[in-house]
Amino acid sequence: MIKAAIGSENSAKVKAVEDVIDSRLISLTALNAESGVAEQPFSDEETISGAINRAAFSLEHENADIGIGLEGGVVETDRGVFVCNWGALVTKEGDTFIAGGARIPLPAAVADRLLAGEELGPIMENYTKKNNIRKEEGAIGVFTNERIVRSEMFVHVVKMLIGQWEYSQVRR
């Protein structure tokens, strides 16, 4: 049995990993891992660092074979502020794999509040008058009419992580 650890207890993230891995081959533990970056990452680089830090923390803390970190952030571009999401998978052999998730621009009303220093999670709850968006459909779900919800977006990221790791095993 391969031992995996995911560095979050957010159900949208844990469910994504559970959906992708084969539970007959890989056991999964979820823990709240330090991201080591701001609560609201504001670039791809900062979001990637958060994902890698969570993955490394999880690997070490659980003495696992693989650690997975999933981190959300936003990126400011010439075309507006986009949501971004990154994942990292680290192995006890010292390999690190990363993969990025789908991104869409946020409405100006949301972007303005982010630029003023608020966090996306609370902004979304306030904007939609709903709780727990970040554990459920997410900003990506709200603004895509739920055609892509947060867990599905993370499933895609986790598939790209696990797939890169599998490919490295095959070639080892």
Ligand X SMILES: O=P(O)(O)OP(=O)(O)OP(=O)(O)OC[C@H]1O[C@@H](n2cnc3c(O)ncnc32)[C@H](O)[C@@H]1O
Binding region for ligand X (CB under 6 A): 8, 10, 13, 40, 71-74, 83, 119-121, 124, 133-134, 138-140, 150
DSSP tag of 105: B
Query: Between 83 and 161, whose beta carbon lies closer to ligand X?
Result: 83
Residue 71 is assigned to a ligand binding site:
no
| Residue number, nearest CB to ligand X | 72
Contact (CB, 8 A) for 75 and 114: no
Q: What distance in Å separates the CA atoms of residue 81 and residue 124, rounded to the nearest whole number?
A: 14
Structural tokens at position 49: 């660092």
Q: Considering the complex, what minimum distance in angstroms separates the CB of residue 102 from ligand X?
A: 11
Nearer to ligand X, 40 or 58 (CB): 40
Q: Which two tokens stand for residue 78?
A: 């010439």
Per DSSP, the three-state class of 164 is: helix
Is the CB of 66 or the CB of 140 nearer to ligand X? 140
At 161, list the tokens: 């992580």
Residues in binding site for Mg(2+): 34
